[in-house]
Structure 1
Amino acid sequence: MVNDQAGSSKKSWKTLPAALCVAALSLAGAAPAPAYADVPNGWPWSDAPPGVEEAADSRTVRIVFEGPVVKWPAAPKMKDGTTVVPARALLEGIGYSLEWNSGQLELTASRASGETLVFRVGHGEMNIKGGAVVELPVAPYIEGDLLWVPLRMPAEASGLKVSWNALDQAAMVSDPNAPVRFSVGTRSDNGVLDASDKLNEYFKTEWKSDIRFSIYAPEQYNDRVNIRIAAGDPTDLMLLGNPYRYSDELLQSFASDLTDMLEKYPRLQALASGDAAAARSIGGRLYGIPRPSHPNAAAFPAIRQDWLDRLGLIMPETMDQLFAVLDKFVHYDPDGDGKHNTIGITGRVDGNGLGTLSWVEQAFTGSPVRFGAAGGKVVDNAVGKEQRAALDWLARAFKAGLIDKEFAQTGSERVVSKLSQGRVGLAAITAEQAAKLTVEAGTSDKFSARWMPIPGLKGTSGAIAPWSTEESGLYIIPRTVPKDKAESILDWLDRGIAASESDWSSISGLGEADRSVLDNVFGTTSLLPQKALFDQLSDSTRDGYRYAVYAWQDVSYAGKTLPQANALFATGEYGELNRKLQELKVKVISGEASLDDWDRHVKEMTDSKEYRDMMGKLNGFLR
């Protein structure tokens, strides 16, 4: 019967929010029935035999085929708890030739391989060639000039697999011997957005998986994910850039509880229940798997080593030394073109703070985020004297012309463009991006930039290092994905992460772009750029990168950040309170407001009931 998977659905089920119910993949919409009057022997859907009672209308259901192509003349529906479908569309779609006996009201379906199925109107049995008889939960019947039969029995008799997703009220029909087909949405942290045909073919032939990749650039990723969630069209495996941007209630509305399924996959279970910043659990239940990464794999100041060399400068180690270096970058023609056209620092702000200039705040506050945890309490680093010192440094640098004057209006694409033009001396970028800029510049006739990550910049509280507050994101499986398919996806992800721990280059036929896609999908714990890129750097440049990586690994902010804060702000609470603070930061830096204005605003804010209420809720995350 279709009771357990694709039929009777008298069990209660929870509906998704309205935004998630707009299923873009819906195949249930009815289309006008075609005319089949020219078919020999007559067909029941062109002229229903007299005296045949028509069944009452019932609710439609959605059926998704993975492999076979089936076009319905009318929407599949539920009858007495069983999914029923137009017989001809189903059987011809899965490869049968049909014969209709109008006198016996009997339909015979046969395939070249020898399988034969026989249905008779009003008889609750399906006969299979060779004498086998299968009981049908609903007897074939004629309605709306169509012959209707249960979905499951003929599909499974043909070697297909039928599963039922009560949440989405959808049945899925697939060939168990065909590659498992599913979609993967992830973020490109190395700039590569497309998988090659060779990579797709490798997964099909070697892993029996037919994958459709949706890979987006970092600056577009969160918006793309939110649009897909709202449209009810998430990928089957989807990376959330920062899972704490979604409240508990919202996340539970579209993400599957993976706790029980992960018991089969110790590697994935360890990731999901570990201390990664991206790990997310609600009430002790696991809702995703963090993409493997190293916590130090984040944007951090990288500097033009070729400009340092040309001006006879050493790598800066303190903020005062850095200020002096940037001053020379702006005023001493480091690119040698005789023009006053170089920029000390470029970057951009974002809705949550100073964006790619937030490392300056980190140098003074000693924290990569605004809200930290210390002594069992939440610390707001934005209201201390260290934050004021950071704003003072930035304001002086801006006034001296060391910071890109367009930093408050510059988007990520313009930042990339300015870096590619070779007129910028320092920017917060990843080691991978720095290496890529260096390699690309080496092929240019205009300049030869040599970007070097700063290894050990010392702030007021000691050395700082890159730290990913979101880490590499959290993979979720939407609740609309059937359990058996979800298990296939987890098996694929587990296998891929295991393979990433070795070397993808051992797979013949895959190029550099393919391996970059694999790093994007399965993550990487290496802090050095991808090998194929790293090998193109000079020996001395590679040594500089290794030195920086070793220095970074001595600095950890584990347990000192509060990623749960994003869950609070995702609800929209305290938005105006924090927006005003961020806007004032930009005004202080650009000289539109003074540090005295900052002091007054901070006092008014911290004295307000709204601020005290916010801090009380944030402290609740530590209990």
Structure 2
Amino acid sequence: MRKQAWTLALTSVVGAAALLSGCSGGAEQNGADAGKDAGPTQISVMTVFFTPEPPGEDDVTKKEIEKNTNTKLNISWVSGNNYDDKMNVTLASGDIPELMLVLDPYHPQVQTMAAQGAFWDLTPYIKDYKHLSELPALSWQNSSINGRSYGIPRVRPLEGSGSFPLIRKDWLDKLGLPVPADMDQMYETMKAFKEKDPDGNGKNDTIGFSGLVSSDGMGSFGWVENVFNGTNGRWKEKDGKLLNTVYEPGTREALVWLTKAYQDGIIAPDFPTLKTTQVRDLITTSKAGIFADAIKPSWLLTGQMRKTNPQADLLPLTYLEGPNGKFVPKDSGVYGMYVIPTTVPEAKMKKLLQFMDYGATEEGWMLASFGLKDVHYTVKDGVIAPTEQAAKDNVGVFLHLFANLDRYERAYQTGIPADFLNRNKQIIDERAKYSVADPAVGLNSETYLKIGKDYDKKIQDLKVKIILGREPIAAWDEFVAKLKADAQYRKIDEEINAEYAKRKGK
């Protein structure tokens, strides 16, 4: 396992030229026949930025990357506010940069162009690039099209994202309760948070769980269904096929569980109308003891609470056990990919792969993400701290170009103490043993695109009515029976499974 920046003291940046040798001299190491070095390799790139201004031509990080890779980068930076529009126009024009970020590998236009041969099929080449081939298999899988790699995944950490419970550990300690490990214990914990005055103010003014829903989905209550179904999201893999969890008994069990929780007053009574800020406010004002989110906000909210309550402590749960075993969500491991158009000659394509191979090293990733050590950041107790110069030099924008190699990135939050960070890292390590990936990432259904959201809204509307006690659970059984007999809705299942079979190469 590659050493990570959050866990170990960082080594100095050395050997870049030996690794890449100008995107051309690294052929012996990478197994690609790039030929003799002919000076800096010119590379045109289109990618995204989210800062007030994009990096300029004299950007410090850009110059350092160019020096280490013997390249000259011509980057078209596009604001995240309109990247989708610019991407679509660029793809349609056919005038595609040599490296271009597509945010959604499964966008119909991207899939069509891949099928028509517009992008290099990189599948047979990746094995020759040591660091690219070491990227998580799930990242490659979840950016593949019909089982082939038409782009280099924009890698993101696998663990620590997704909506899963965080719990007031100080409340557990005060009430002498263990960390809940299954849904029965979770229920009893929520009930105790409601009834046993965990904040010690002598008032009956706390609830167990604070969450929200959307008009077409369960939002931060989705983890309840996921635990009962033992899957991540709408689809469950069984015997090589995907089952729609709307039909699964786990979804019904989740509704029964949530209905009882609502009747017992242990979840926010106004959950159908709550916003994210309101959910978090209920936590930071000690009105609720549990909410669902990624790991990253654990310190953000704990730090806010400790200003008035030094004992406050939000603990991300490692897993919850349901009828199908232990569950915690795993991320897709990818957020877009970089395609190379087939207008680029094969020899140049290999140089581009060598450039991205450098970006998949810890050295390249650290440079793109944090800039120069002891100039833009320092490291103490395994925690990276940016300097004032980092802000002046607009450091960090290039992280959108290279892979994110830090498996603990979602454990970190600015200002986090070392002990809190270390606990978050341990939780991520434990989650990796049990986490479940979404088997349907990127799968498309033409029927769903046309009518799926209408069904989603009807499904969600009935779920909320059942939880609120306005409809009996029998209404769910009747509704599911109708969906099973609905030819249009079943067509979504068929199309998703057809896509799934293609992804698996069947």
Q: TM-score scaled to structure 2, two decimals?
A: 0.69
| Pairwise CA distance, 1:407 | 3.2
Residue 321 (structure 1) aligns with: 185
Aligned counterpart, 2:269: 405
1:334 to 189, 198, 201: 198
Unaligned 5+ runs, structure 2: 1-38, 67-71, 378-384
Q: Distance in 2 between matches of 1:501 and 1:387?
A: 44
Alignment of 1:346 onto 2:210: yes
Aligned pairs for 1:469-480 within 5 A: 470-477=332-339
Residue type at the aligned position of 1:403: I
Matched residue SS, 2:329: coil
1:545 aligns with 2:411: no
- Structure with bigger helix share is 2
Distance in 1 (alpha carbons) for counterparts of 2:65 and 2:141: 31
1:509 corresponds, among 349, 363, 375, to 375
Partners of 2:123 and 2:258 in 1: how far apart?
50
- Which whole-Å CA distance do the structure 1 matches of 2:236 and 2:138 have between them? 16
* 1:202 to partner: Cα distance: 2.1
The number of aligned residues is: 433
Q: CA deviation at 1:425?
A: 1.9
1:522 equivalenced with 2:402 (yes/no):
yes
Summarize deviations over 1:204-233 as a string: whole Å, max 9, x none. 3442547676676xxxx8xx5544445669
* Change over 3 Å in CA distance of 1:278–1:410 after alignment to 2: farther
What displacement does 1:316 show?
0.9
How far did residue 257 of structure 1 move? 1.2
Compute the displacement of 1:572 (Å): 2.4
The CA distance in 2 between the partners of 1:486 and 1:409, in whole Å, is: 51
Report the counterpart of residue 381 of structure 2 in structure 1.
Answer: none
1:452 to 315, 319, 323: 315
**Equivalents in 2 of 1:600, 1:495: separation in Å?**
56
Q: Indicate how the Cα distance of structure 1 residues 283 and 370 shifts in structure 2: closer, same or farther if over 3 A, else same.
A: closer
**What is the 5 A alignment of 1:211-226?**
225-226=83-84
Asked whether 1:563 is paired with 2:441, we answer yes
Pairwise CA distance, 1:606: 0.3
Larger Rg: 1
Distance in 2, Cα, partners of 1:609 & 1:530:
42
Q: Are residue 610 (structure 1) and residue 473 (structure 2) matched?
A: no
Call closer, same or farther: CA 1:536–1:576 in 2, change over 3 Å.
Answer: closer
- 1:139-288 matches, cutoff 5 A: 182-185=45-48, 200-207=59-66, 209=73, 225-229=83-87, 237-238=100-101, 240=103, 243-244=105-106, 246=108, 252=114, 257-259=119-121, 263=125, 266=129, 270=133, 274-276=137-139, 279-282=142-145, 286-288=149-151
After the TM superposition, which residues 371-382 of structure 1 pair with which residues of structure 2 at under 5 Å, given as runs? Answer: 371-382=235-246
* Inter-CA distance 390–494: structure 2 relative to 1 (3 Å threshold): same
Identify the residue that residue 85 of structure 1 maps to in structure 2: none
Q: What is the CA deviation profile of residues 512-566 of structure 1, one whole-angstrom value per residue up to 9, with x for unaligned ones?
A: 4668766665343544356874984363x456434423331222536x7232534
The letter of the residue matching 1:553 is A
Q: Is the 8 A contact 2:329 2:435 kept in 1?
A: no
**Which shows bigger deviation, 549-558 or 269-278?**
269-278
Following the alignment from structure 1 to structure 2, what is the Cα–Cα distance between the partners of residues 449 and 255? 56
Instruction: Return closer, same or farther for 1:279/1:376 CA change in 2, 3 Å cut-off.
Output: closer
State the Cα deviation string for residues 156-179 of structure 1 (Å, max 9, x = none). xxxxxxxxxxxxxxxxxxxx9799
Spell out, residue by residue over 1:442-482, the C-alpha distance to the aligned partner (whole angstroms, 9 max, x if none).
4x2466631111123211221112222x3331224496998
In the alignment, the residues of structure 2 paired with residue 252 and residue 461 of structure 1 have an alpha-carbon distance, to the nearest angstrom, of 38
Determine the C-alpha separation between the residues in 2 that align with 1:199 and 1:409.
48
Does the CA-based 8 Å contact 2:445-2:492 persist in structure 1? no
2:240 partner amino acid? G
Aligned mates of 1:538, 1:402 — CA distance in 2? 33
Q: Which amino acid aligns with 1:328?
A: A
Using the TM superposition, give the Cα deviation of residue 287 of structure 1 relative to its aligned residue in structure 2, in angstroms: 3.1
Cα separation, partners in 2 of 1:416 and 1:322, compared to 1, 3 Å = same
Residue in structure 2 matched with residue 293 of structure 1 by the alignment: 156
Do 2:299 and 2:314's aligned partners in 1 also have CA atoms closer than 8 Å? yes
Which letter does structure 1 place at the counterpart of 2:196? Answer: Y
Letter in 2 for 1:405: P
1:599 counterpart residue number: 477
Residue 461 of structure 1, aligned match among 321, 324, 328: 324
- Structure 1: gaps of 5 or more residues: 1-175
2:223 to 341, 359, 363: 359
The verdict on how the C-alpha distance between 1:313 and 1:273 changes in structure 2, with shifts beyond 3 A counting, is closer
**Could you tell me which of 579, 584, 590 is aligned with 2:462?**
584
Q: Could you tell me how far apart the structure 2 residues matched to 1:212 and 1:246 are?
A: 23
- Tell me the CA shift for residue 374 of structure 1: 1.4
Matched-pair contact (CA < 8 Å) for 1:247–1:571: no
Q: State the one-letter code of the partner of 1:456.
A: Y
Compared with structure 1, are the counterparts of its residues 355 and 255 closer, same or farther at alpha carbon in structure 2 (3 Å cutoff)?
farther
Shift of 1:288: 2.5
Identity percentage of aligned residues: 22
Deviation at 1:434, TM superposition (A): 1.5
Relative to structure 1, the CA distance from residue 507 to residue 215 in structure 2 (aligned partners, 3 Å threshold; closer, same or farther) is farther
Contact 2:216–2:453, Cα closer than 8 Å, also in 1: no
SS for the counterpart of 1:572 is helix
Distance, in Å, in 1 between the alignment partners of 2:204 and 2:107 is 43
